[in-house]
Structure 1
Amino acid sequence: MGTSHAESPTEAAINRLVLWNVDLTLVDATIVTREAYADAFRMVTGRPLVKLAPAMGRPDSEIIFETLAINGIVVEDRHLPEFLDALAVSFAAKHKRLAKEGRMMPGAKDALAAVSRLGGAVQSVLTGTIKGNAVHKLTAFGLNKWVDFEVGGYGEEVYPKATLLQVAQGRAKAKYGEPFTAQNTVLIGDSTRDVQAARIGGAAVIAVASGRSMAAELHEAGADIVLPDLTNASEVVAAVARLTSPADRKAG
């Protein structure tokens, strides 16, 4: 399966890294995701899935381990790679249902398009979803064309999300030649886990109160900026610009 690549800005060198969480920040694919997990569980264990561990902003790898455990499966070394492969196969088989049974979060398309026009910005994802499924989710709603999937961080990589953020920064540096630090990297997400990952990993954070966490919780967790949703694209761009411009961040 091929992946789409972002339309690189030509007016300036790449010197801003914008990392988006996927689920409940850009899209909601809960129904299809749950069914894919049930299918993958059956493929790997030969048993029906009774209970799925809650996502809570965690990576697929962590959800898989807990799901196996709460369903009474003694985890073996083979389980994680087999489950990841099965999850990718099952989700791919259902990807045509995403646009009908899932939804794009309000304002997501306009926000991605607007940020893509910000000088020096490259957009990617920092998500608990495995890479192939993240591509399917965004492609189903036409959001993939603004995302450089090569420099993202994904759920099959068994790292805490804060470490995964640093992995993404390293990938972006390798591709674009610019060091990405807390001064020019921003994570946009909807959960307190996203905020904590940014704080620990070294990035500014824009929290969107459209998903798992309330605005007050996001403020308390330490988000730099909290937005109710993504429907005001100019507000999103202004927030990204402020948080990825060192002089502006110092002044703020």
Structure 2
Amino acid sequence: MGGGPVSPYDVRVRRDRLILWNLDHTLLDAGRVTREAYAEAFTAVTGRPMVRMAPTAGRTESEIIFETLAFNGVQTEDEHLEAFTRALETAFAVRRDKVRAHARVLPGAAEALQAAERLPGAAQSVLTGSLEATARIKLAELGLDRHLDLSVGGYFSPVYPKGATIETSRIKTAQKHGTTIAEGATVLIADHPLDVRAAQIARARCVGVATGTATETELRGAGADFVLPTLADTAAVVAAVDRLTRRDG
């Protein structure tokens, strides 16, 4: 019987290991657009200009939002989070062209994604503290979404921390493919010690890449299973992922 080529995420293909990628400062840099979107959302919610934005590395959207409000002298209330996330989604949506123009894929990221998705039994998605809508815009406009199954990704949740969203992503992937993915067959590739800790909480493995604010020494000290300076060496990235997630690893 004939038929077209099998999609890399065809549910008929058995998946028994999960590769999760952090976005900002691991795969891409969209800092300029993010700051603009935050400034617009801040003004929409508070009626005043944003003077200072909170640090973003390794953090979830709620942490960044509440700290940004505090840094700018706004007394936070429960409804701020929902209002701010809605405004942030809108601010990103109208800046799709700016993402394409001003954001950038970090060296080796596209090649690493493409190579890692060929690993036998691998499902590949994202684990990020960003809103799902903004994450999808960044990935789509930079052409990285074609290598990822975003339907099983882990995104910002007002309820669950990053470690829990790793487990959620693992469950969604296993259910989609009718398989079992062991904790040790899950790996997170990320750039910050907080992400390393999230992987440890979920009993996943972690490849640290020193493309953000953390050094290789800091990532090793945090307990990353493997550390690389960047994603530029595709073979090294794939070898690390393969070694950490294969059954005899």
Counterpart of 2:137 in structure 1 is 136
Counterpart of 2:185 in structure 1 is 184
Instruction: Give 3-state SS (helix, strand or coil) of 2:95's partner.
Output: helix
- What's the CA shift for 1:147? 0.9
1:148-207 CA-partner distances (Å, limit 9, x unpaired): 111111124432211121121122122122233322100000111111111111100001
Counterpart of 1:77 in structure 2 is 78
Counterpart of 1:244 in structure 2 is 245
Counterpart of 2:3 in structure 1 is none
Q: Distance in 1 between matches of 2:116 and 2:10?
A: 11
Counterpart of 1:158 in structure 2 is 159
1:90-239 equivalences under 5 Å are 90-239=91-240
Question: What amino acid is the match of 2:228?
Answer: L
Counterpart of 1:3 in structure 2 is none
Q: Distance in 1 between matches of 2:63 and 2:182?
A: 26
Instruction: Give 3-state SS (helix, strand or coil) of 2:125's partner.
Output: strand
- What's the CA shift for 1:73? 1.7
Instruction: Give 3-state SS (helix, strand or coil) of 2:39's partner.
Output: helix
Question: What amino acid is the match of 1:231?
Answer: A
Instruction: Give 3-state SS (helix, strand or coil) of 2:183's partner.
Output: coil
Q: Distance in 1 between matches of 2:70 and 2:183?
A: 37
TM score, norm. by length of structure 2:
0.93
Instruction: Give 3-state SS (helix, strand or coil) of 2:78's partner.
Output: coil
Question: Are the equivalent residues in 2 in contact too, given 1:42–1:49 (CA < 8 A)?
Answer: yes
- What's the CA shift for 1:78? 1.5
Instruction: Give 3-state SS (helix, strand or coil) of 2:187's partner.
Output: strand
Question: What amino acid is the match of 1:166?
Answer: E
Question: What amino acid is the match of 1:150?
Answer: S
Q: Distance in 1 between matches of 2:230 and 2:134?
A: 23
- What's the CA shift for 1:11? 9.1
In the comparison of the two structures, how many residue pairs are matched? 243
Identity fraction in percent:
47
Q: Distance in 2 between matches of 1:119 and 1:10?
A: 14
Instruction: Give 3-state SS (helix, strand or coil) of 1:246's partner.
Output: coil
Counterpart of 1:49 in structure 2 is 50
Counterpart of 1:38 in structure 2 is 39
Question: Are the equivalent residues in 1 in contact too, given 2:30–2:104 (CA < 8 A)?
Answer: yes
Cα distance 1:242–1:9, how it changes in 2: closer, same or farther (>3 A)?
A: farther
Question: Are the equivalent residues in 2 in contact too, given 1:84–1:156 (CA < 8 A)?
Answer: no
Structure 1 runs not aligned, ≥5 long? 1-5
TM score, norm. by length of structure 1:
0.92
Question: What amino acid is the match of 2:151?
Answer: E
Q: Distance in 2 between matches of 1:108 and 1:200?
A: 25
Q: Distance in 2 between matches of 1:131 and 1:9?
A: 22
Question: What amino acid is the match of 2:29?
Answer: D
Structure 2 runs not aligned, ≥5 long? 1-6
Q: Which moved more, 1:162-171 or 1:174-183?
A: 174-183
Question: What amino acid is the match of 2:80?
Answer: H
Question: What amino acid is the match of 2:240?
Answer: A
- What's the CA shift for 1:93? 0.6
Question: What amino acid is the match of 2:15?
Answer: I
Q: Distance in 2 between matches of 1:81 and 1:16?
A: 34
Question: Are the equivalent residues in 1 in contact too, given 2:16–2:182 (CA < 8 A)?
Answer: no
- What's the CA shift for 1:246? 2.5
1:8-19 equivalences under 5 Å are 8=9, 12-19=13-20
